[in-house]
């Protein structure tokens, strides 16, 4: 019965997608087990962003459907030591499988290997570590960064802007997903010519620090014409800085979807954001977890969960 349920849900999902510290129990989401004993943990980079809330929602919904015990744990902020603690605590708690969004692919890899050595299966969502895993479900971040750059160029053209400086607010240099978004963006903007890319400011996805850095770009560069944020927090910071600099013609492009980002797009502070499919990452990630734990095929090793452009 569960094999048939898994197959039906997996097929529908594939068609739909287009092919403080850690471990406090009161901060984890738990689904009803329906008598099942297999335990799946979701460990994300932090619990700050609505992106991770959506991953949790998808994972929890699928866990409930399949009768798995499910918990979500993450640091309060992006911190390698705290995320490693989350992984170690999940193993100690008897996790059968961990869905992991790695903050730093190098720093977390030893803990991932230790978990695997103890029989815990690993699937990556959003961001992988350097240690091999069963599968990875994520956005094609390099191409998504290229899409963000093309969107920036289109908006600049529509505004009649043909030259000037563009600033980038990144997360950190260790997180592969956001670095790929930056590198893809840089490739397209550089190839287009006419615009100068400034040195990236990395603010760990903190919205307030990102706003301060974006405001610094605006103040120091009278010919600044664009700002790009590579994740939810940096995008909110970019949008708020542009909003505060009323009267300046600056194109803001970012990443992810949240109520704050939607508000900044609707009031014109941001022109667009690249929207991922975090719910699908969690939903299909748990479907693959069930398959891995029950001897079923998990499908492709890499699944691109897609991206779209959100505008007003």
Between the CA of residue 73 and those of 42, 60, 254, what are the distances in Å?
6, 12, 26
> What local confidence, expressed as pLDDT, does residue 218 receive?
98
Name the superfamily (CATH) of residues 141-275. Response regulator (3.40.50.2300)
Phi-psi region of 284 (alpha: psi -120 to 50; beta: other; left: phi over 0): alpha
CB of 50 closer than 8 Å to CB of 232: yes
CB 248 within 8 A of CB 268: no
Question: Residue 22 has what pLDDT?
Answer: 67
Residue 164 has a pLDDT of 98
Q: What is the pLDDT of residues 188-234, one digit of tens each?
A: 999 999 999 999 999 999 999 999 999 999 999 999 999 999 999 99
What was the pLDDT predicted at 66?
96
The reported pTM is 0.83
Superfamily of domain 2-138+277-305: Response regulator (3.40.50.2300)
The single-letter DSSP state of residue 223 is T
Query: Hey, do 2-138+277-305 and 141-275 end up sharing a CATH topology, with the first three levels equal?
Result: yes
Per-residue pLDDT at 19: 35
DSSP H helical segments within the chain, as ranges?
2-17, 50-66, 80-92, 109-117, 141-158, 176-192, 207-220, 232-244, 259-266, 278-293
Q: Which residues of the chain have pLDDT under 50?
A: 1-20, 23-35
CA distance 265 to 238: 11
Question: In this structure, what DSSP letter does residue 78 have?
Answer: -
Q: What are the sequence ranges of the domains in the chain? A: 2-138+277-305, 141-275
């Amino acid at each position: 019965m569960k094999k048939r349920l898994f197959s039906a849900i997996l097929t529908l999902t594939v068609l739909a997608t287009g092919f403080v510290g850690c471990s406090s129990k009161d901060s984890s989401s738990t689904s009803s087990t329906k008598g099942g004993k297999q335990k799946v943990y979701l460990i994300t980079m932090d619990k700050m962003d609505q992106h991770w809330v959506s991953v949790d929602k998808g994972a929890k919904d699928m866990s409930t459907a399949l009768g798995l015990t499910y918990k979500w744990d993450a640091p309060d902020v992006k911190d390698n030591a705290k995320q490693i603690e989350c992984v170690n605590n999940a193993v100690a708690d008897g996790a059968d499988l961990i869905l992991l969004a790695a903050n730093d692919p190098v720093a977390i890899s030893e803990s991932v290997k230790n978990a695997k050595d103890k029989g815990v299966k690993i699937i990556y969502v959003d961001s992988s570590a350097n240690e091999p895993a069963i599968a990875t479900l994520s956005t094609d971040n390099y191409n998504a960064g290229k899409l963000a750059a093309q969107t920036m160029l289109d908006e600049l053209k529509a505004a009649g802007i043909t030259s000037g400086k563009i600033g980038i607010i990144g997360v950190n240099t260790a997180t592969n997903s956001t670095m790929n978004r930056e590198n893809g963006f840089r490739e397209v903007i550089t190839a287009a010519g006419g615009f100068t890319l400034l040195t990236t400011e990395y603010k760990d996805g903190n919205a307030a620090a990102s706003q301060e850095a974006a405001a610094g770009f605006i103040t120091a560069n009278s010919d600044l014409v664009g700002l790009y944020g590579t994740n939810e927090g940096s995008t909110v910071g970019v949008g708020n800085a542009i909003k505060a600099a009323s009267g300046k013609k600056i194109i803001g492009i970012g990443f992810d979807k949240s109520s704050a980002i939607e508000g900044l797009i609707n009031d014109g502070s941001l022109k667009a954001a690249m929207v991922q499919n975090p719910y699908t990452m969690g939903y299909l990630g748990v479907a693959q977890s069930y398959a891995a734990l029950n001897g079923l095929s998990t499908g492709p090793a890499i699944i691109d969960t897609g991206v779209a452009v959100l505008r007003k």
